[in-house]
A and B are shown apart, each in its own frame.
Chain A
């Protein structure tokens, strides 16, 4: 088996002219880990990946593979494999030649190369396509060929740049599962770039959320989902997205008044313990995931008015007007017998409520 590699980025900065694509990023990837880089378009994910691949050189900072400095090393000295968004299959070579290319440049002899190519192709169930040209393959088949080519020489590190984004929804799901299976089986350290939060949550052991070239949060998918470190991450992660409602907070004699636009809720102080003293003159953001808003039978914390009901197969998404704000409620119950404009009492799971400062976006609960 290949040697398992850990990766460390220390204060990496990458500038293109006066554009700072990556702005002081540091993180560590443990050997064998599946690590995702998630963020909106232009946040520097691809640049970070290309720095790790050696296709770009960092302006500042160092990159270590197993404590060995590779910051200025050529791509070929790093023993990595990369799958590109457009797959980059060589159009003039057959599938077999494509898969065998990393072996060819390593001067592996013909017999062993042929054996390895067939072995790998079988693993990806594309051994019947070996004589075809990439232009004669479907999107899903091309993706498998790209994966096979990346894996054939057993790289130390596996890099992906949005490898699923060219596939249709069904195939994307299938390929995602396949990828996860292959990675878990081989245990190769993997870095996966995507702008699709569901993909990152599903695949990663740990992930980093990027914005404007900086890391906003680093952690396991569960940590990031449950405890988004700032209002950007809170908004970015989750589908349907988290309810984020502007509010003011007003502590009164052991109670906490939450002033939403058009409605006020008063709760005992100990239900919502904040790690910072609240300022009644400041704006805050009240965050709660749709699954933590519960439709109550009789008496709830607040009343809402049904705005829309959408059936999503396994669950129902109900949008309520609470005061002047829209609140999404996600429930597994299917036949609720609700009608539009109907008043419904709701309860909030205060354990799962997150409060952010509006100005800084920082989490204070």
Chain B
């Protein structure tokens, strides 16, 4: 009796695991297989006669290729801006003795999600309109940077905190300037943190729909995340063949960035280095 109960439990457990795995794996499998089918549908079909025709159709469309370029500009732009500004700010926050700097930090982090959130979109829109940055890449990049900077500073400050100040002091005594110290010591030692922050920003910007959709007007500036909505026919029925191929292409940069950075630097969520 006891054995039977045990077996049933194991069986139930395994069925649950299989079910859950399938649940999460299905969309991914669909994403990988569907674009290679001759007639893609919403059902998961293994491509028996794999074809690249769907990709050819995507590449034939100037608008979609242009959208990829826009995505790259906006994502890399925001990523670089965030990394550079956040590392400088984190250095200052970590090293300068400032009364109440902990509180400033928390308030910034707390409110930063508002900047890229829906609630603030109307004021942000008007702000950009006033300064003439509506429908520009710069406008999109600045809004994203503003939203992610506080979190990035918060993460990086932890890295800088873990770098002993004697490194800087020994360099100072050796005759280095502040800028040299930042370049030669602080920057290389916080690089693992910058990588984490950079990948985080890149992925967030790459996959964001709302902000570029609202802040950009002309279709030739829209990034891939927005462009994907253009793949419908005249009566609004989605073109699965284009969408499937495009979706797969859309995920490639993100996956590539993860693999590249993980290989080159390895993801680390704490600061300091040994060896």
Contact = CB atoms under 8 A, between A and B. Distances in A.
B175 A102 contact: yes
A84 B174 contact: no
A105 B171 contact: yes
Instruction: Tell me the dominant secondary structure on chain B's binding face.
Output: helix
Contacts of A80: 173
B174 A91 contact: no
Contacts of B184: 90, 101, 104-105
A91 B273 contact: yes
Interface stretch (A130-138, A213-221, A231-239, A250-258): A130-138
Interface string A87-106: 01011100000000110111
B169 A84 contact: yes
B167 A90 contact: yes
A76 interface: yes
Contacts of B166: 84, 86, 88
A82 interface: yes
Interface string B167-204: 10111111111001000110011000000000000000
B263 interface: no
Contacts of A159: 173
Contacts of A86: 164, 166
A105 B180 CA distance: 8
Interface in A300-339: none
A323 B8 CA distance: 86
A102 B175 CA distance: 7
Contacts of A102: 174-175
Nearest to A161: B166
A40 to B, nearest CB: 22
Interface residues of A, number: 27
Given A91-B273, A136-B275, A82 B170 contact: yes
B176 A55 contact: no
Contacts of A91: 189, 273-275
Contacts of A54: 173
A55 B169 CA distance: 7
Most buried by A among B166, B167, B169, B173: B173
A75 interface: yes
What bracket does the count of chain B residues touching chain A fall in?
Answer: 20 to 34
B77 to A, nearest CB: 28
Main secondary structure of the interface of A (DSSP, over half): mixed
B173 A75 contact: yes
Contacts of A104: 184
A82 B173 contact: yes
A81 interface: yes
Contact of B176 (A81, A84, A105, A149): A105
Contact of B177 (A76, A79, A82): A76
A201 interface: no
A53 interface: yes
A88 B170 CA distance: 7
Contacts of A135: 273-275
Nearest to B172: A75
A79 B172 CA distance: 11
Given A84-B169, A135-B275, A136-B275, A101 B174 contact: yes
Nearest to B168: A88
Nearest to A77: B175
Interface of B: 164, 166-167, 169-177, 180, 184-185, 188-189, 273-275
Given A79-B175, A81-B174, A84-B169, 5 more contacts: A82-B169, A88-B164, A88-B167, A133-B275, A159-B173
29 contacts: A55-B172, A55-B173, A75-B172, A75-B175, A76-B172, A76-B175, A76-B176, A79-B175, A82-B170, A82-B173, A84-B169, A84-B170, A86-B164, A88-B166, A88-B169, A90-B167, A90-B184, A91-B189, A92-B273, A101-B174, A101-B176, A101-B184, A102-B174, A102-B175, A105-B174, A105-B177, A106-B175, A135-B274, A159-B173
Interface of A: 53-55, 75-76, 79-82, 84, 86, 88, 90-92, 101-102, 104-106, 133-136, 149, 153, 159
Closest 10 CB pairs of A and B: A135-B275, A88-B166, A102-B174, A88-B170, A76-B175, A105-B176, A91-B273, A82-B173, A135-B274, A92-B188
